Amino acid sequence: MKDGTEKHAVPAVILETDFCSDVDDVGAMAILFDAASHGRIRLIGVSVNVNGPMEAAAAKALLGHWGLQDVPVAVWNGKNGPRGAESAYVPYLAGLLKERDREVLKPLAPEAFYREVLAGEADGGVTVISIGFFCSLAAALRDDPELFERRVSRVVAMAGSFREKEGYREFNVTQMQEEAAAFIGGYRGEMIFIASETGDRVITDLNGPERFAEDPVFACYRLHTKGSMKRPSWDLVAVDWALYGEGDWYGLSESGQVTVMPDGTTPFRPSADGKHRYLLFRKSHEEIGRHITDILVQALKKRASDAPAD
């Protein structure tokens, strides 16, 4: 086993996703997997933080579509509400995985997953992109806080509400609130929050590119939206910022501290030595929606051109 001292030129990323509750996870995964398949990042793991019976197969099928079938997958093994069988798209994606691959698929539990994928990484070399619940992150932090905080330099989390929705209880926090409070309050590294109000008016619109009608991402949007092909872009914005950072599209708030309150709200307290910041827009919601849609469409175009002919 590597001792964690090896340096890598390409940044390492772990994705945390509640892969079933909304289709923006699939769009975000497409953008991230496109970056991984073209060497922009090293995707070292995907952790699905809902425990439905089809989650692992669905995630593996989507990874395989981008040639990333060797990326390890974890599935939350505790108790929580959402399950993949309730999703319109998870059974569809799971059905794409070949039977022989399904038979050998053994997803890891969160603690084992994080120990395994972090062991070979350089100190401070890993970014976690969290577009779901905090249960697996909280479990990993409890299991080996020294390893987690030494290897993970930043967590980019689609979570919370800070400016436009006073008193709002955001979904990714309240669904597993104790775990969210434990991780957000306990992790001592940098966290960037993509708030609910940041993505709800940024619309991904896949109307038009019918040449991708057979693409599984396009099919997932069609199933989830019942044909409208439009959804808010919370998770896609999170991945876009994690990949490309500040610039023409995005800025960041001042430093501070986010706290998960007993009522599920997430107030932000400015503090010069705080490790938390949240995303700000430098363009209109409509402009960023067109930007996000274009990134996703370009990812589907590249996948179509890269795919081997039948």
- 5 falls within a domain: no
Query: What CATH number does residue 102 fall under?
Result: 3.90.245.10
As a whole number, mean pLDDT of residues 285-307 equals: 92
Answer yes or no: is 102 within a domain.
yes
Q: Which residue has the higher pLDDT, 56 or 8?
A: 56
Partner residues linked to 229 by β-bridges:
none
Alpha carbon distance 273, 154 (integer Å)? 16
195 φ, ψ (degrees, to nearest 5): -75, 160
Asked if pLDDT for residue 53 goes beyond 50, the answer is yes
**pLDDT score at 295:** 96
Taking the C-alpha atoms of residue 26 and residue 240, their distance in angstroms, rounded to an integer, is 13
Under the banding of pLDDT at 50, 70 and 90, the label for residue 4 is very low
Q: Helix, strand or coil for residue 42?
A: strand
Q: Is residue 212 in some structural domain?
A: yes
Side-chain half-sphere CA neighbours of 272 within 13 A: 0
Strands 203-205 and 230-232: antiparallel
**Residue pLDDT, tens place only, 58-112:** 999 999 999 999 999 999 988 765 566 678 999 999 999 987 677 668 889 999 9
Q: 201 versus 52: which is more confidently predicted?
A: 201
Quick one: pLDDT at residue 1? 37
pLDDT of residue 190: 97
Is the residue at 171 inside a domain?
Answer: yes
How many domains does the structure of the chain reveal? 1
pLDDT in tens, 133-152: 999 999 999 999 999 999 99
Using an 8 Å Cβ cutoff, are 158 and 194 in contact? yes
In terms of Cβ atoms closer than 10 Å to its own Cβ (0-12, 13-18, 19+), residue 33 is buried
300-309 residue pLDDT tens? 998 988 765 4
Average pLDDT of the residues in 49-66: 92
Q: Which residues of 223-251 are buried (b: 16+ CB within 10 A; e: fewer)?
A: bbeeeebebbbbbbbbbbbbbeeeeebbe
| Sequence-separated (6 or more) residues with CB below 8 Å from residue 124 | 150, 151, 152, 153
Q: Are 118 and 143 in contact (CB under 8 A)?
A: no
Mind listing the pLDDT tens digit for each residue in 229-260? 999 999 999 999 999 998 899 999 999 999 99
Tell me, yes or no, whether 245 lies in a domain.
Answer: yes
| pLDDT beyond 80 at 5 | no
| 195 pLDDT above the threshold of 80 | yes
pLDDT at position 273, please? 95
Q: What is the pLDDT of residue 9?
A: 60
pLDDT value of position 79:
73
Does 4 reside within a domain?
no
pLDDT, position 134? 97
pLDDT given at position 106: 85
Strands 126-131 and 152-158: parallel
**φ, ψ of residue 138 in degrees (nearest 5):** -65, -40
Alpha-carbon distance 297 to 131, whole Å? 20
Note the pLDDT of residue 21: 81
For the record, the structure tokens of 15 come out as 């994705």
The answer to whether residues 261 and 267 touch, using CB atoms and an 8 Å cutoff, is yes
Q: Answer yes or no: is 309 within a domain.
A: no
The parent domain of residue 108 ranges over 12-303
Q: State residue 3's pLDDT score.
A: 47
Average pLDDT over residues 275-298: 96
Q: Percent of the chain at pLDDT above 70? A: 92
Whether residue 246 lies inside any domain: the answer is yes
